[in-house]
Structure 1
Amino acid sequence: MLTVHHLNLSRSQRVLWALEELELPYQIVRYQREPTMLAPEALKKVHPLGKSPVLEDDGMILAESGAILEYLQETHDPGQTLKPLSPQDRTQYRYWLHYAEGSLMPMLLMKLILRTLGKPPVPFGLRSVGKLLGQGVEKAYLNKQLATHAAFIEGHLAQNAWFAGEHLSMADIQMSYPAFALLARGGQGELPHLMAWKKRVEIRPAWQRAIQQGGPLDFPGS
């Protein structure tokens, strides 16, 4: 039996969606974030980094969303339903699997951190300065970078129904968390093709089952 160590409001939602798409039986061990929004210490008993998602499969422990999704596709997707077949689509598949966490997610995390500089646990006397600093970095640098990435994603989806061609793949599942976060945090202008992709995701029965299992996909700081 596959086991997902699932943290609420986290990237482990992607693993649940993949499992539902593959129609694989699994069980969930649930964890709740601390008031600081960090993962609880209990996750370190599963994996030394104490992060989620973590997948258990027959005694094997695997962390990192991209690695888990690739493992599921390679090991539990004999029909190749979540991997493109054409060489061109496979190249896009590989790119977006890595782009999600390598390029887009760090900037979204930076945006989240900057928006906390005016709030606890920052000392009271430094919050006003922290808030101004965060707003300044966002305005001068981060928002421009995110707008560039948003336009890049929008342009790709203007030419493709899904991230790796005309069919859903693990690339879409990997991109779902940062793409939804990008839209939730706003300020990136009109993105009709990304919004259309989001709607295609949300009407999928497997996505809806994953949300029922894992809880709403909300984004702190949005």
Structure 2
Amino acid sequence: MLTIHHLGKSQSERIVWLCEELGIPYELKRYDRAPVMAPPEYKALHPIGSAPVITDDGIVLAESGAVMDYIIAKHGPKENGGGHLALTKDHPDFAQYLYWFHFANGTLQPALMRVLISGRLNPPADHPAVLTGQQRMELCLALLETRLGDVPWLAGQDFTAADIMTVFCLTTMRRYLPYDLSPYPHIRAYLARIGARPAYRRAMAKGDPDMEPLLD
């Protein structure tokens, strides 16, 4: 049985959402933070000790991208409607899908974490780490804004796992690093489309019922 070990208000919301989009059975185990980091029982699941973690028929797997690839490949074949979430090499948007799928954790989230960590160290506002971190974050958001002004979803015309990977950085991550999306109308319109998806609403209600998603 596929089990999602969901740490509250964390990246593991992606995995709950993925399974809701696929319409596959899974067991959800929720863990509260203690008080900020994962509790000991969550850290014991995997040597890295961070979310997400899944277990499936004796397999223990972490890392958002790896978990999503695994679930789509094993539990979401095209015949049950799941294959469209990961575009194949024959799809015209394959390269865009790959780029945006990996952009989330390879570029966007590290940029946000750089600003978050430098802010907590409380350096001077003109410190190079602050300035370059802010510039990098703004560059990432501007790139997203441009892309979403051209297409409705990150890979192109179709909603894919690239969107599931990215939305955490634009929503829940803002609870830890507040930033203003008002200069980015295309990102805000995109988040409105996300919020209209029944699978997203179900996932957030199940995973974090006490949290209102930041969709604007």
Question: Where on the TM-score scale, by shorter chain, does this alignment land: which range?
Answer: 0.7 to 0.9
Q: Is the 8 A contact 1:147 1:188 kept in 2?
A: no
1:71-91: CA deviations, max 9, x gaps?
111111112131235533111
2:57 maps to: 58
SS in 1 for 2:27: strand
| 2:97 matches 1:104 | no
1:193-216 Cα offsets, whole Å, 9 max, x none, are 111111111111100100111112
Query: Secondary structure, in 3 states, of the residue corresponding to 1:14?
Result: helix
CA shift at 1:137, angstroms? 5.0
What value does the CA root-mean-square deviation take over the aligned residues? 2.2
Aligned residue type for 1:17: W
Counterpart residue number, 1:40: 39
Match of 2:162 in 1: 171
**Separation in structure 2 between the aligned mates of residue 109 and residue 164 of structure 1, nearest angstrom:** 24
Indicate conservation of the 8 Å contact 1:114/1:134, yes or no. no
Q: Do residues 191 (structure 1) and 194 (structure 2) align?
A: no
Query: Alignment partner for residue 147 of structure 1, among 138, 146, 155?
Result: 138
**1:22-72 Cα distance to aligned partner (Å, 9 max, x none):** 11111122211122x111221232111111110111111110011111111
**1:143 positional shift:** 1.6
Q: Which runs of 5+ in 1 are unaligned?
A: 118-130
Residues 115 and 130 of structure 2 are in contact (CA less than 8 Å); yes or no, is this contact kept in structure 1? no
Change (3 A) 1:74 1:137: same
- Give 3-state SS (helix, strand or coil) of 2:92's partner: helix
Structure 1 residue 114 displacement after superposition: 2.6
SS at match of 2:61: strand
Whose Rg is larger?
Answer: 1
Identical pairs, percent: 36
Residue aligned with 2:33, SS: coil
CA contact (8 A) 1:93 1:164 kept: yes
* Amino acid across the alignment from 2:188: M
What is the letter of the counterpart of residue 144 of structure 2? I
Query: What's the counterpart of residue 81 of structure 1?
Result: 84
Deviates more, 1:91-100 or 1:6-15: 91-100
Matched residue, 1:126: none
1:92 aligns with 2:83: no
Give the whole-Å Cα distance in 1 for the aligned partners of 2:125 and 2:64.
28
1:172 Cα deviation (Å)?
0.4
Deviations 1:126-160 (A, max 9, x none): xxxxx244774565222221111111111111111
Amino acid paired to 2:17 = W
Cα 1:113/1:46, change in 2 over 3 Å = same
1 CA distance for matches of 2:117 and 2:34?
16
**What is the CA–CA distance in structure 2 between the aligned matches of 1:47 and 1:133, rounded to whole Å?**
37
- Assess if the C-alpha contact under 8 Å between 1:84 and 1:165 holds in 2: no
Q: 1:182 to 1:212 in 2, by over 3 A?
A: closer
